[in-house]
């Protein structure tokens, strides 16, 4: 049970980190610190529940909630990789600590 909890926490951290690193890659370091994320097409500022890694992309079916613009799948892949790596790292840490 402990291992699963740490893996879930690791998945959340990994997804968030991957999402942020994607923003840095797309906008640059300085611009990543300037305000909230927004739709590339309509410019609407995204709400907090539209920024949850993987969950938001899947819930919105890869589209902007306002204008319906399709989001690039690279965001989905990047966040999925971050979630997988974070979950694996969390599980490995939990297993190592339990010994």
User: Could you report how far apart the first and last alpha carbons of the chain are, in Å?
Assistant: 15
pLDDT digits (tens, 9 = 90+) for 47-86: 999 989 899 999 999 999 999 999 889 999 999 999 999 9
| pTM score of the predicted model | 0.85
How far, in Å, CA of 21 to CA of 29, rounded? 9
Q: CB count, 10 Å around CB of 70?
A: 10
Tens digit of pLDDT for each residue in 9-44? 999 999 999 999 999 998 899 988 888 888 889 989
Domain residue spans in the chain?
2-98
Residue 37 pLDDT = 87
Residue in 77, 51, 80 with CA at minimum distance from that of residue 64 = 51
Q: How far apart are CA 96 and CA 99, in angstroms?
A: 6
């Amino acid at each position: 049970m402990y291992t699963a909890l740490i893996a879930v926490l690791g998945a959340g951290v990994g997804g968030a980190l991957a999402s942020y690193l994607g923003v840095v890659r797309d906008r640059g370091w300085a611009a990543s610190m300037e305000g909230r994320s927004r739709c590339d097409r309509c410019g609407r500022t995204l709400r907090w529940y539209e920024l949850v890694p993987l969950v938001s992309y899947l819930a919105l079916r890869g589209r902007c909630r306002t204008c319906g613009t399709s989001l690039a799948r690279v965001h989905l892949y990047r966040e999925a990789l971050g979630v997988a790596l974070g979950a694996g790292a969390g599980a490995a840490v939990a297993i190592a600590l339990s010994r």
